[in-house]
Amino acid sequence: MFKNWLKGEEKPKVDTSEFHIPESYRGSEGPRFKVLESKDDYEVRLYEDSHWVKTKFEEGNLENCSSTGFWRLFNYIRGENEGGKKIAMTVPISSRVDLDDEGKCKVFAMAFYMPAEHQANPPVPKDNAVFHEKIEGRVMYASHFGGFANDKDWRENEKKLKDALDRDGKGYVKNMYIAAGHDPPFRLFGRHNEVMLLADPQPSLEDTKPEQQGEPAVASE
């Protein structure tokens, strides 16, 4: 592959219209999705069913809860589970933020995606604050930005995504968003962060075929 790069040959492009692992995962395992529609400022994605390990806080903001949440989940994958199994780190680190009527954080939850070998039967956590959740396949809107993201960055990009969806007449759940970080803290450059919103209403499976080249954009998924 490196020799091909030196020759100027391009890496084969992934067919995003099929379920795939994006380049932003950098070789790690993570939830697969297909791109139903691609805009300049966001994507419409259909995700497969997936199993996650999760922890939740009833109050606090993303920055305050992230550290505690991360270590709870990291300790789980490092062996604090029945059987003491070591589990590979995956991407993204997914943080769901539920908002109150004033737009402030009401509930914060962080989750790690379970690798393929543990999707069907993940080890039981020893920490009562850690639990499993199966998420059914669903359509999400996603936008991305770079840098080391703080709470202000997430909220600004959440607003940008909502503005873009409002512009295009797409419905979404308004009182929550997902902040998905794809990189470890030691990665200084080329960082990839995604803000995601849940489509509402969810389209039927017949409506989730990717757009064909040359067809006009669909007003609502």
Q: Which residue has the higher pLDDT, 213 or 11?
A: 11
pLDDT of residue 64: 72
pLDDT digits (tens, 9 = 90+) for 5-58: 344 444 556 789 899 999 999 999 999 999 999 999 999 999 999 999 999 998
Cα(20)–Cα(146) distance, rounded to whole angstroms? 22
Mutual orientation of helices 62-77 and 151-167 as an angle, nearest 10°?
Answer: 100
Cα(147)–Cα(164) distance, rounded to whole angstroms? 21
Decide: helix, strand or coil at residue 135: strand
Record the pTM.
0.85
Q: Are 51 and 134 in contact (CB under 8 A)?
A: yes
One-letter amino acid of 87: I
Q: How many other CB atoms sit within 10 Å of the CB of residue 130?
A: 20
For tokens 């930005």, the residue is 145
For tokens 């959440």, the residue is 158
Give the DSSP letter of residue 40.
Answer: S
Q: For all residues of the chain together, what is the average pLDDT?
A: 89
Cα(144)–Cα(45) distance, rounded to whole angstroms? 13
pLDDT of residue 188: 96
Q: What does the block give as tokens for 33?
A: 């999705």
